[in-house]
Every structure is written in C-alpha cells, then in structure tokens.
Amino acid sequence: MTETITLDLNAMAYGGEAIGRHEGRAIFVPYAIPGERVRVEITEDHGRYARARLVELVKPSPVRVDPPCPYFGQDKCGGCQWQHIETAVQPRLKGLVTLDQLERVGKFREPTVFEPFADESGWEYRNHALFRVNSEGRLGFLSAQSHDVYPVDDCMILHPLLNSLLRSLDMTYPELEWMELRAGTATGDLMLLLQAKEEQAPSLEVDFPLSIVQVDHDDGIVPLIGLDYILERIHEREFRISATSFFQVNSSQAAELVNIVMGALDLQGTEHVLDAYCGVGLFTAFIATEAERVTGIEVNPPAIADANHNLADADNVDLLEGAVEDMLAEVDGKIDAVVVDPPRAGLGPEVIDALAERRPERLVYVSCDPATLARDCQRLTRKGYTLEWVQPVDLFPQTYHIENVALLSST
C-alpha cells in the first residue's frame, strides 16, 4: 500500500529537492520549496531517508510561480527542476545549498559564502544542448526521474539562435542516437553535431548557415557541412571551440566567471600561474595578460588543439597535453598560483597531493558541483591551505546546478 504523509519542508538539497522530516527520517520532494506544507506519496524508502512524489500543496510558498514552459513538471522534461520558483529567488537558494555542502561535507564552520552572482534574465542563456532520440525518432530531453526521452519542440532556456535552429528541424530522426546544437552567441556561429545509429549520415535540410558534424562510435569527427568548430567571444576575445571541446554553457556568465577568477588571483605581473584543466584556454588567455608566465594542462586532444590556436598570440604560455596528475611533474619552476576547473567528479587525491607538494600561494577552484568542491577544499585544508571564500555564480537558471569559485591560500 502506498504511504501518503503531510510534510513541512525546511531546506533545499543539492539535486533540487526540498527536504522535510517524518518520524526521524529525511524525505526528499522534487518540485517543492522550503517553507511549504505538502502532501506527498513515498516512492522510494531507504530506511533513514525516503523520496516522495508531490501530491498536494497544502500551504504553497509565496515564491512559487506558475512554470511558463509546457514541458516542465513531474513525469515531463527533466532539463529544468526549478521553474516553479521565482527566478530572483533561485540564486539565494543555491547559495544556501553551497553553504550546506561546505558545512556538512567539508566540515567547515561558518565558511564565507558571498551573495550568489545571478544571471540577469534567467532565460534564453544556453549556448549548447544535447537532444536524445526516443523510440519514435522524436528529439527531446531525458525525463525527470527516468531515462525515458520526453519530446520537445522548443526550449525556453536555449539561446534564441539555438531555438530558431531547433524550430527549423523536422524533429523526427529515427536514424539518430543523439543530436547536439551549439552556438557562438556573440558570433552567430551555429553547429549541429550528431551520432547516427548506422555509419550512413542522415539527410538534413536546414535553412540556416551552419556546420554539421558527425561523431562516429569511436569518437571520430567527420565534418559533413562547414567547419568542425564554432567561434565565441568573451570580453571581446575570440575563442575557437571544436565539436567535442568543453565550454561553459552560459557565455555571458562565463565572462563574469573570468572576472571573479582574475580578481581572486590578484596578479601583480611577476607570477607563474598554472591553469589545470585549461580546456580551450578561457582562463589562460586572460591570465596571460597579467602574469609573467602561464602553464596550461588539458587531457582532451581537441581542446588542447583549440587552446594552441586561441593562445597563439601569447608568448608567455606553455601548454601540456595529458592528465593533470601526470603532467604536474613536467611543469618547471616555482608555481605561484593555480586555477583548477575540474569535471564534476572534482580533484582526485593524486592531484591534491601533487598540487600541495608544489605549494602555490593561491589556489582558485572553479567547480560545478558543491559537494565535490566541499570535499576537495577539506582535503586541501589538511594539506595546509585555508579556505578564504566561495563565490556562487548562477550559470544555470531554472535548474538546481550552481557554479562556484573558491579561493584557498597557503598557510
């Protein structure tokens, strides 16, 4: 028999679910807001905690709004989790989630977490999106709480360039595994990446000037039309971004991220800075204008090729291809400061050990996951570092995701 209970919700979990307690166990409720009283149905019972489905809003929050997107909600598209929360309130909740992770996971007492830096509009920001293909060949996103594909015809958080491209497609491609759309929001460049179920590429009729690139099952890249990269501008500097290179999904907020990182580094022009996980050279390019020397490390070959192109005019930059833990030993000389921007899994113990051995005075950590940030900051404090502050930046409005920049100093 299904268990239905009434809950008062008092916190937000990393993952976008509101939390209440019932008979000593935590109950996680998606599509709810702290401060609400709700009726929920238990869907997963894990003993000390459970997950539940929202059944009724007994007392809704004053910051609850009607989601404008028809695809948002339970059993629908899982791309957004927070459209039911006022856009202006979302950054504050994300800041509280970051603080909670630092205190609970990182065991920090009263860490300094600044007011989150909000996105100006909260909509139409994504410069790329990956579409799955359902059993009927329709393009869509993974559903909430499942691996089913929920078909969509447009997306309210996509940049207008990509929504225009999306609406021009016929949306039914049974011969595809997936399709990814990319845009240079400042340049107007458009790219369509696809992976076909068979070797034969599908026929695509698009009225837009764009590049079409096929990714084969061995991760090879085959340009079908146009180039295998797009160009984007951040602070008037142009970056080449290849089909499989990582780049921040929100270009305008990426510019603010650069500002925060540069402020944290506080360079005086004499430093040797290491940019670990440097990608296409986003931070490296700006560090090079204020440091004496920069070394970048990147494991992804297309990204390091982009970085070499993007930094060709900087004669004080050395780029190394390989894993950070392997290449750190190849970095010559004293390292005064480090920027790390690792994947969601964070820094491995080998990387933390290697960084601590080189003892840079300032370490700027850019993170897309507050839990692994908290864990790694705690590990770094055991190596003699002090967590000075954390600056949340909302790169992902309408979702629970949050970017953070943390400054640690050597003690």
* Enzyme catalytic residues: 368
**Residue 87: C-alpha distances to residues 68, 72, 225, 262, 400 (Å):** 12, 15, 39, 27, 12
Task: Provide the terminal-to-terminal Cα distance of the chain, rounded to the nearest Å.
Answer: 57
Q: Which amino acid is at 314?
A: A
Q: How far apart are CA 349 and CA 314, in angstroms?
A: 32
- Local structure of residue 312 (DSSP, 8 states): T
Collect all residues with Cβ–Cβ distance below 8 Å to 70 and sequence separation of at least 6.
Answer: none
**Residue 46: C-alpha distances to residues 1, 22, 31 (Å):** 16, 13, 20
Reduce the DSSP state of residue 97 to 3 states and report it: helix
Reduce the DSSP state of residue 344 to 3 states and report it: coil
CB atoms within 10 A of CB 327: 19
Q: And the tokens for 208?
A: 């837009």
Of residues 326, 347, 350, the one with CA closest to residue 408: 347
